Amino acid sequence: MPRIAGVDIPEKKKIRYCLRYIHGIGPKAADDILAEAGISPDKRASELTDQEVSQIASIIDSGYIIEGALRRQVQQHIQRLKDIRSYRGERHRRGLPVRGQRTRCNARTRKGKRKTVAGKKGVRGH
């Protein structure tokens, strides 16, 4: 398996799809990197020469924030929102959807497993 920017990428796939395995590189960035390097996007990762791999790695190092640095940056941004006690920071703190989605139904991804609330159904005494 070739390694680009410290990430193992699959050999059999085309390089334009392999680059997306690197956190922080999407479809547009992958195509831009290959265009700058002058490498065909349809070339398989196993067909790349060492020089092409190092060329791609140098382009990524010079112009993109990827992997650990990107994850750290995102966490710092979220921490800043929490510190200034913004609405979005409060949503992050409570583990609720941040971008305006409804929570009456759905939102299970953010809220986690259902927690059963006892004594909600049959209200006695009326």
- pLDDT in the model for residue 122: 65
Residue ranges per domain, the chain? 3-63, 68-111
72-118: per-residue pLDDT in tens?
A: 999 999 999 999 999 999 999 999 999 999 999 989 999 999 988 88
Tell me the CATH class for 68-111: few secondary structures
The region that residue 124 occupies, defined by phi over 0 for left and psi between -120 and 50 for alpha, beta otherwise, is: beta
What residue type is assigned to position 74 of the chain? V
Tell me if residue 95 falls in helix, strand or coil. Answer: coil
- The CATH number of 3-63 is 1.10.8.50
31-82: per-residue pLDDT in tens?
A: 999 999 999 999 999 999 999 999 999 999 998 999 899 999 999 999 999 9
Contact predicate 5/61, CB 8 Å: yes
- pLDDT in the model for residue 118: 81
